[in-house]
Structure 1
Amino acid sequence: MEKILIVEDDKEIGKILSEGFSSQGYKCHIVSSLSEAYIYLLSSSDLSLVILDLILPDGDGLELLKYLRSTLKFKKLPVIIISARGAELDRILGLELGADDYVVKPFSLREVIIRANKILKRNLQPEEILNYGPLKVDKKKKIILLEEKLLTLTPTEYKILETLVENSERIITREELIRIIWPVEKEYYSRVLDAYICRLRTKLGKYGKIIETVRGFGYRLAQI
Structure 2
Amino acid sequence: MTKILVVEDEKPINDLITMNLKLVGHEYVKAYNGAEVLPLLEQEKIDLILLDVMLPELDGFELMKRIRGMNIPVIFITAKDSLADRITGFELGAEDYLIKPFEILELLARINVVLRRNVKEESGFVLDGAQIRLAQRQVYRDNSIVELTAQEFELLEVLIQNRNIALSREKLLELAWGFEYEGETRTVDVHIRQLRKKLGWEERIKTVYKLGYRLEVAADEILA
Bigger Rg, structure 1 or 2: 1
The match for 1:29 is 29
Structure 1: gaps of 5 or more residues:
126-224
Matches within 5 A, 1:92-131: 92-124=87-119
How many residue pairs get aligned? The number is 120
Deviations 1:25-55 (A, max 9, x none): 00111110111112111212x2110000010
* Post-superposition offset of 1:63: 1.3
Matches within 5 A, 1:161-176: none
The match for 1:86 is 81
**Aligned residues with identical type, % of pairs:** 39
Q: Which amino acid aligns with 2:15?
A: K
CA gap 1:93/1:13 in 2 versus in 1, 3 angstroms: same
Q: Which amino acid aligns with 1:94?
A: G
Dislocated runs of 4+, deviation >6 Å: none
Matches within 5 A, 1:60-209: 60-70=59-69, 74-75=70-71, 77-124=72-119
Question: d(CA) in 2 for partners of 1:121 and 1:59?
Answer: 29
* Post-superposition offset of 1:59: 2.4
Question: d(CA) in 2 for partners of 1:14 and 1:104?
Answer: 15
Question: d(CA) in 1 for partners of 2:38 and 2:107?
Answer: 24
* Post-superposition offset of 1:124: 3.6
Structure 2: gaps of 5 or more residues:
121-224
The match for 2:142 is none
- The root-mean-square deviation of aligned C-alpha atoms, in Å, is 1.1
Q: Which amino acid aligns with 1:110?
A: L
Deviations 1:13-33 (A, max 9, x none): 000100111111001111101
TM-score (norm 2): 0.52
Question: d(CA) in 1 for partners of 2:24 and 2:63?
Answer: 26
Matches within 5 A, 1:36-47: 36-44=36-44, 46-47=45-46
Q: Which amino acid aligns with 2:105?
A: R
Deviations 1:57-90 (A, max 9, x none): 11211111111113xxx22x11000001000100
Compare relative contact order (CA 8 Å, sep 6+) and give the higher one, 1 or 2. 2
